[in-house]
Amino acid sequence: MAAADGEVTFSAPHIVEYAYRRSVGAVLGRFFTGLRERKLVGTRTRAGRVLVPPCEYDPDTGESVAEFVDVGPSGVVTTWAWVHAPSAKHPLPRPFAWALIRLDGADTAMLHVVDAGSESRMRTGMRVRPRWRAQTVGEIRDIECFEPETGR
C-alpha cells in the first residue's frame, strides 16, 4: 500500500495479550474473599478512617493497617460520569454510569458502575446497592454493577 506521497507502508494488527495471575496478599485477599461471599469489607486505620477498597498501609501515615470492618452493602454516589456509547472494554454493553461510591461505613469511595437505565436517573448523592453476579469467584467484578436503591 502507498502513503500519500507514494512511499510504501505496511500495516498489520498487533495484539498484546497476556493474563497474569497475581497474588493478592492478606488484605486484598480478605476483600476478595468477602466479595466471593457477597460481602464488602474495608480496613480501618489507627485514626479510625475506614478505607474501601482496603489498603495495606494508611495513605496518610504509612502505618500498616490490619483491622477489617464490614461496610455497605449500599452506599452513596459521590461523583459519576455517563457513558453514552460503551466500548467493548467497558463493563456493561448498554449506556451506564461510572461512579465513585462511598459505601455505608466507609470514609473513601470505590470505583464501580451504576446501571441506572438513563442519565436522568443519576444524581450525586443518590443511594445505590450492589447487584451481585450469579457466580462469584473473588474479584471486583463479582459485583456486576450497582443499581439505584429505590429500584428501576
Partner 1 sequence: MSEAEPVKSIVTPTRLEYEYTAVGAQARFLDEISRGRIIGQRCPQCRKVYVPARGACPRCGVPTAEVVEVSDRGTVTTFCVVRVPSENIHLKLPFVAAHILLDGADIPFFALVGDCEVSEVRMGLRVAAVWAPRAEWGPTFANIRHFRPTGEPDVAFEKFKEHL
Partner 2 sequence: MREVAVVSFAQTPYLRRERRRSEVEMLMPVIAQAIERSGIQKAQIGFTCSGSSDYIAGQAFAFVGAVDALGAWPPISESHVEMDGAWALYEAWVKIQCGQADSALVFAFGRASTGTLPETLTMQLDPYTLAPLGADAVSLAALQARALLDARLATEREMAEVAVRSRRDAKRNPFAQLKGDFEVEKILAEPYLISPLRKHDCPPITDGAAAIVIAAGEVARRVCRRPAFIRGIDHRIEPHQPGFRDLTVSPSTQLAGEQAGAAGRPLDLAELHAPFTHQELILRRALALPASVAINPSGGPLAANPMMAAGLARIGEAARPILEGQARRALAHATQGHCLQQNLVCVLEGE
Q: Read off φ and ψ for residue 51, nearest 5 degrees.
A: -105, 130
Q: Which is nearer to partner 1, 9 or 120 (CB)?
A: 9
Residue 19 CA to residue 91 CA, distance in Å, equals 18
Return the residue of 22, 84, 94, 152 that touches partner 1, per CB under 8 A: 22
The contact set with partner 2 (CB under 8 A) reads 3-5, 7, 9, 14, 16, 20, 22, 24, 28, 31, 51-53, 55, 59, 78-84, 87, 89-91, 98-102, 108-113, 119, 124, 139-141
Q: Are 124 and 80 in contact (CB under 8 A)?
A: yes
Write down the least CB distance from residue 148 to partner 1, Å. 28
Residue 135 interacting entry, from partner 1, partner 2, none, C-beta within 5 to 8 Å by type: none
Residue 41 CA to residue 130 CA, distance in Å, equals 13
Q: Are 11 and 1 in contact (CB under 8 A)?
A: yes
Query: If we measure between CA atoms, which residue out of 75, 82, 122, 119 comes closest to residue 101?
Result: 75
Write down the least CB distance from residue 21 to partner 1, Å. 5
Residue 144 CA to residue 114 CA, distance in Å, equals 9
Site string for partner 1, 110-149 (x = CB under 8 A): ----------------------------xx----------
The strand pairing partners of 128, in sequence order, are 75, 148
Residue 80 interacting entry, from partner 1, partner 2, none, C-beta within 5 to 8 Å by type: partner 2
